[in-house]
Amino acid sequence: MERMQVQAQPRFTTTKGQLKELRRKGLVPGVLYGKKEEPISLTVDSRDINAILNSPTGLNTVIDLNLDGTKTTVMIKELTRDALQPDRFIHTDFIRISLQDKLEVQVPIVLTGEAQGVKEGGILQILLREVTLRCLPTNIPEKIEADVSELQMGDTLTVADLVLPSDTEIVSEPDEVVASIVAPRVEEEPEEAAEEGEGAEVEETAVPAAEEETAEAEE
């Protein structure tokens, strides 16, 4: 299990200008909450956030947050990025957790192997990239691997087909499709030019009923 040490500082700044100045210095404003305790405003170094995201467990990393000499076991609950600069963090929320209590997390699905249906000309269509699990923080898997080698044309892989580590429960719907092998689309051929010509000829020789009546009257 990936576990990281992060140093935090109390935060007393609240105005937009003050928060902007913190971010300019490479700090990320945040809040620590949960376990029915009072929320605490704080800041952490943006480099620590990057280290967490780049670790094998990513946002599912268990963190020992050191604030004023007190360590608290937490995880990132929410991370807000700058819309124009995704590598710049605007705000983060940490939630207190217990290593003895199960929680729900989203774990990435990694497909392995080459499907038989793909070898025959089919297309692997990926519909679900993460699965929601319930487990202890110490048992959060880095990823869930699924071998698609046996999938034939028209076959599907569902959440129920995933093999999970022990002491891990699926929260996602079992019948939700993870991936499927579909046949390639066949483009419709344009209509024969001769058929189009026949249609045009009929339109050119057709005489409106009103014009026929006028011709008869003149005779």
The CATH number that applies at residue 171 is: 2.170.120.20
Give residue 1's pLDDT band: very low, low, confident or very high (50, 70, 90): low
What is the count of structural domains for the chain? 2
Q: Are residues 110 and 133 in the same domain?
A: yes
User: Which residue, 150, 146, 103, 152, is CA-closest to 127?
Assistant: 146
Encode pLDDT of 74-88 as tens digits: 999 999 999 999 889
C-alpha 192/C-alpha 213 separation (Å) is 36
Res 189: pLDDT: 60
Q: Which of 97, 112, 129 is the last residue of a domain?
A: 97
- Contacts (Cβ under 8 Å, ≥6 apart) of 89: 23, 28, 46, 49, 79, 80, 81, 82
**Chain segment 199-217, per-residue pLDDT in tens:** 544 444 344 444 444 444 4
Are 9 and 90 in a shared domain? Answer: yes
Q: How many CB atoms lie within 10 A of CB 179?
A: 21
- Tokens 């045009």 belong to which residue? 200
Measured from the Cβ of residue 134, the count of other Cβ atoms closer than 10 Å reads 13
Q: Answer yes or no: are the C-beta atoms of 144 and 129 closer than 8 Å.
A: no
Query: Do 93 and 116 sit in the same domain of this protein?
Result: no
Percentage with pLDDT > 70 across the chain: 84
Q: Is 22 in the same domain as 74?
A: yes
Say if strands 70-81 and 62-67 run parallel, antiparallel, or are unpaired: antiparallel
Would you state the pLDDT for residue 3? 86
User: Residue 191 — pLDDT band, cuts 50, 70, 90?
Assistant: low
87 and 108 in a common domain: no
Give the model confidence (pLDDT) of 23-50 as tens digits.
999 999 999 999 989 999 999 999 999 9
DSSP 8-class letter at 174: T
End-of-domain residue from the set 57, 79, 97? 97
Answer yes or no: do 90 and 108 share one domain.
Answer: no
- Lowest-pLDDT range of 37-41, 54-58, 93-97, 183-187: 183-187
Q: Residue 67's domain is classified under what CATH number?
A: 2.40.240.10
* Co-location of 85 and 136 in the same domain: no
pTM of the model as a whole:
0.77
* 8 domain-assigned: yes
